[in-house]
Amino acid sequence: MAIRNLRLEGDEILKKKSREVETIDEKIQILIDDMIETMHKYNGVGLAAVQVGVLKRVIVIDLYDDKGPIVMINPIIIKTKGEHEMDEGCLSFPNQFAKVMRPEEVVAEYTDRNGKRMRVKAKELLAQAISHEVDHLNGEVFMDKIIPGTLEYIEPEE
C-alpha cells in the first residue's frame, strides 16, 4: 500500500469524467488499498480515484464507525429524497469549507471490491459523502455547488 499524491484545486483532471471499471483486477485492488490509506492519512471521509489522478469510477468512504471503509465501484445514485444545507470540505481543496445543498437520503447501487452488486440506502453523512464523491466521478467539485457567501478558509494548525 502507498500514499498517493492528491490532485488539488486548479488541476484539470478534477473536471474530467471518470470511466467505468470493466474488470476488478489486481491493479484496481491496489488502487483501492492506496486510496483508503491516502484518505486515512489526510483524515478524509471519502476519496474518489480522480483525486489521486486515476480516471476510474472508484470511491472509498469511511465514517470511522465500526463498519470500516466502504468501497464503491461504478456507483450510481438511483434515488434521492429531500434536500438540506450542509457544511462541506474536500481533500482536493485543503482548508476550505462552505455550505452546499445535498439530498437528505440517497439510494445508490455499486459493485463492491469482490465484484458483488450492492445497493445502499444512505442518510446524513453517508448520503452526503456518496453525493460528493459521485460528483467527483462526473467531473464536478463541491466548489461548483457552494451557497454564495459561505466559503471559509481555515488556517491549518501547525
Q: Which residues are catalytic?
A: 133
List Cα–Cα distances, 151 to 8, 31, 83, 94, 145, in angstroms.
17, 32, 20, 12, 11
How far is residue 21's CA from residue 73's CA, in Å, rounded to a whole number? 7
Residue 34 vs residues 65, 105, 125, 145: alpha-carbon distances, Å: 20, 29, 23, 28
Q: Which residues contact 11 (CB under 8 A, 6 or more apart)?
A: 92
Instruction: Give the N- to C-terminal CA distance of the chain in Å, as an integer.
Output: 27
Rounded CA separation 93/121 (Å): 28
Other beta carbons within 10 Å of 92: 24
Dig out the grid coordinates for 92 from the structure. 482536493
